[in-house]
A and B are shown apart, each in its own frame.
Chain A
Amino acid sequence: MSAVLEVKDLRTSFGAVRAVDGVSFAVGRGQVLGLVGESGSGKSVTGFSIMGLVDPPGRVVGGSVWLEGEDITPLLTRGGEAMRRVRGARVAMVFQDPLMTLNPVLRVGTQMAAAVRAHAPVSRAEAWARAEAALATVGIPSPRQRLSAYPFQLSGGMRQRVAIATALLHGPAAIIADEPTTALDVSIQAQILAEVRRLADETGTAFVWITHDLAVVSSLADEVCVMYAGRVVERGPADAVIGGPRHHYTAALVASVPGGHAPGSRLPQVAQGAALQDQGCPFRPRCPAADAACAGPVPEVAFGAGHLALCHHPVGT
């Protein structure tokens, strides 16, 4: 399997803060990769870095991003027109809050047609026709009427579908989705997840699904990368990682989800502590299994079928 999107040892810094600290992953055609972590883990900055959307003082300082076998890293760091030709056409992004990403004073059709014409030299009528087709693809009923609606006239779920449809306009190889269903209700989230799974399977678009919600990843993603302090501390097939976590941070995350515990019982808590950014394990101040070895370089331990954890003392060994 050749990867549609591959990230190798990506490093993004905000001054002295290493927000993304050597992240690597690859997503294949029609695959969904879940990028999981808590606030501040660097998962969103990873997405922004791939899109060349990191605002100063943030800056991609190392590593490379490959899109369909082409190294687009020079475009990311230089920005400008060259990256603009890639962004939206070959790799697109969906953000958490569609009210922030849609222009409130333009009709849905106007802004979608503008997105069409940004990359394809087509007539205005053709652009509107493509926008209508894209809305139909994401399961929006009566798409023609929706095109003449303003964003405020649509529900949150519909707005997020519009954002996904806009991302799909040019048949991008990959879509980066940053917490796209976090602001939505569960029943609407279920509709969108079903739609995304279908789109990945049918169109072959590769998705990077950035979320803090392990249950969403568990039901949607093929592969998962768990991020902590800018690093991927565990990766592998979603069911293997969530069903049998090997890194103590992943294990703690999975254990703190309330669903699986006796009602009223105390939930397992992760110890407090700041993440460290040195050569050792960033989780060691909070880790129940940490010892002196954890201050040194951390080995990557394999557990079969692409399941890897960065840990001296993985769970269950």
Chain B
Amino acid sequence: MTDAPTPALAIEHVVKRFDRPVPLGARVAAWFLAAEPRVVHAVSDVSLVVGPREVVGLVGESGCGKSTLGRVAAGVYAPTSGTVRLASGPVMEHGRKRSPLVQMIHQDPFASLDPRMRVAETVAEGPVLHGIVARREADGYVAAMLERVGLDPGLRRRYPHQFSGGQRQRVAIARALALRPEVLVLDEPVASLDVSIQAQVLNLFLDLRRDLGLAGLFISHDLGVVRHVADRVAIMYLGRIVELGTAAALYARPAHPYTRALFASVPKLGAGRGRFSPIVGEIPSALAPPPGCHFHPRCPHAGPRCRVEAPPLLENEPGHADACHLDHGGVG
């Protein structure tokens, strides 16, 4: 499925840990007291490939590491170990982002646009800096980009606060497109928008994807949104991908107990009243992830093997894999 052509984005064995800086006093105190671990294990050995023109959805709850993985993929964070490659080469070199060919779109267009820059300056800054367009031609370039995302180019002298949330997200998309990326990393791009505006932005994304042949990593907690835009879907839990498959297969036959519980938790339109089957407990701290399968403390099927051995991601059917002992050799 994704082996043949060079992938647009290849995330290979990426680990991302955050070490909290420990103040001197605390370090001295640690000599006398039992020191607790202060390392956040945000992403633990994740490999994920996005093919040319493919959109992969990355789904998970707060703290599962999906945004961290997205930022590593976009070259915002350097991975602790592992690599991220675009078709044209690695995203980072010598600890610095190498090319503007992967661009990120953030959740909150109120925070991601500089309030003191006119949107024309915001959109032009990147392409001028990277020599994609000459400064004297930037104005026309910006106008074309705004038109591309469905905004009136006549508004380009305005400031972000003069736009609505949906329009600001269009500006953020225009800013990303202005760098002519091959890959977009979209981190919850519609989560802060009203449903009617969300539909407009999703339609825009689908149009751009078709017209420009973009590949994308689409990060969201919303299973309905991901089903609508993604070709393949990865489910993440506490730093690991627990299930990966074509959207059709994964939604029709969710395999991992966490995926199944997640699907059961989502309120559905018209499914009737009072049908909740919540997962027990809460997501454990990434400061001290449980041993073995990260989901075992909450899993109704967990056995002795799950407490010691982390299950690898293995195929159940062509194009659909999960990381669960239950499906691969038993939990006993």
Decide if B117 is an interface residue (CB 8 Å cutoff).
no
Q: Which B residues touch A220, using CB under 8 A?
A: 267, 273-274
Interface stretch among A70-78, A82-90, A169-177, A211-219? A211-219
List residues of A (250-265) whose CB comes within 8 Å of B's CBs.
Answer: 252-254, 256-261, 263-265
Give Cα distance in the complex from A190 to B278, angstroms: 5
Give Cα distance in the complex from A263 to B209, angstroms: 14
- Interface bits B53-92 vs A (CB < 8 Å: 1, else 0): 0000000011000000000000000000000000000000
Decide if B138 is an interface residue (CB 8 Å cutoff).
no
Interface stretch among B24-32, B179-187, B219-227, B301-309? B219-227
Q: Which A residues touch B272, using CB under 8 A?
A: 218-219, 239
Contact A38:B266 (CB < 8 A) given known A185-B221, A193-B276, A269-B203: no
Q: Which B residues touch A156, using CB under 8 A?
A: 62
Give Cα distance in the complex from A68 to B101, angstroms: 63
B interface, size bucket: 35 or more
Q: Which A residues touch B261, using CB under 8 A?
A: 187
Contact A269:B196 (CB < 8 A) given known A190-B278, A219-B274: yes
State whether B267 touches A266 (Cβ < 8 A): no
Contact A242:B196 (CB < 8 A) given known A187-B261, A190-B279, A257-B224: no
Contact A239:B228 (CB < 8 A) given known A38-B196, A253-B195: no
Q: What's the nearest-Cβ distance from chain A to residue B53, in Å?
A: 12
Give Cα distance in the complex from A191 to B276, angstroms: 8
State whether A264 touches B229 (Cβ < 8 A): yes
State whether B227 touches A242 (Cβ < 8 A): no
- Interface bits B235-269 vs A (CB < 8 Å: 1, else 0): 00000000000011000000000000110111111
Give Cα distance in the complex from A265 to B279, angstroms: 32
Q: Which A residues touch B269, using CB under 8 A?
A: 214-215, 218, 242, 254, 257, 259-260
List residues of A (227-281) whose CB comes within 8 Å of B's CBs.
Answer: 238-239, 242-243, 252-254, 256-261, 263-270
Q: Whose C-beta in chain A lies nearest to the C-beta of B263?
A: A186
Q: Which B residues touch A216, using CB under 8 A?
A: 267
Give Cα distance in the complex from A261 to B200, angstroms: 14
Give Cα distance in the complex from A157 to B261, angstroms: 17
Decide if B48 is an interface residue (CB 8 Å cutoff).
no
Give Cα distance in the complex from A199 to B301, angstroms: 29
Give Cα distance in the complex from A221 to B194, angstroms: 20
Give Cα distance in the complex from A212 to B271, angstroms: 17
Interface centre among A157, A190, A212, A253 (most CB of B within 10 A): A190
- Determine which of B195, B227, B264, B282 lies in contact with A188 in the assembled complex, contact meaning CB atoms within 8 Å: B282
Interface residues of B (CB under 8 A from A): 61-62, 165, 194-196, 198-200, 202-203, 206, 221-225, 227-230, 247-248, 261-262, 264-279, 282-283
Interface residues of A (CB under 8 A from B): 38-39, 155-158, 185-191, 193-194, 197, 212-216, 218-222, 238-239, 242-243, 252-254, 256-261, 263-270
* Chain A to chain B: the 5 pairs with minimum beta-carbon distance, closest first: A259-B224, A190-B265, A194-B276, A256-B199, A267-B199
Q: Given known contacts A188-B282, A258-B228, what 4 new A-B pairs fall within 8 Å (CB)?
A: A212-B195, A218-B273, A243-B270, A263-B247
